[in-house]
Structure 1
């Protein structure tokens, strides 16, 4: 009797554990309304200081030519623009301040541009810099598509011990 009761309790606990582990959607954007990206879900990094990668564009905010929703798709485009010193504009959208989570499954569908000099990326950073900034806080590059290497998509994890400055980053490449 004691063994069967223990077995029933174990099955009960495993069932509760498996229910807790079931996937559930905690955030999404299906881009259902045309126009600027939803300001309740997205914010922008703005400026042209290179962002650690010597990027050659000014990142704008609320500029439809650089970031807009059309027909259920988020479109982020770079354009030549002589009104900015670096000659290009684009957009950097973030969920910072609107959505963050510690664990999860991330699913993104993206069409990549072609052309030398492009470098679209989808990455995750912590909501706050608790450990002293990059790379101590960590970064996960879900996708980086480097324009001079158009057949490959990179995924990389950066930490204080593993990062490209030290040449120790951990990552992988997927041919597309």
Structure 2
């Protein structure tokens, strides 16, 4: 499984995606659990990207605004593998099947991803 708290594709400035991928819900077949929100100043200002993840539901927010919710359907690990630890990855991806749909603008480089902080809280 994979949980995307924030995905931003350069050729679609301002559109933020949250997604959950699993064996049965994959981007290759367009069955992933996903939703989007538009943030007009995404490239100019810092924003808070939040994921609340419990055994029952995942919720994603930008600046405290809920825009993605995926409930555990209780249909097994092929749909909900999120019952184990996951790695946290901060990734600047260039190209690929999605990011390269409209080509890569070489004039856009160099680029950077600036992160103010990352916090993880776990309920006991």
Normalized against structure 2, the TM-score is what? 0.30
> Higher relative CO (CA 8 A, sep ≥ 6), structure 1 or 2?
2
Higher gyration radius (CA): 1
Larger % of strand: which?
Answer: 2
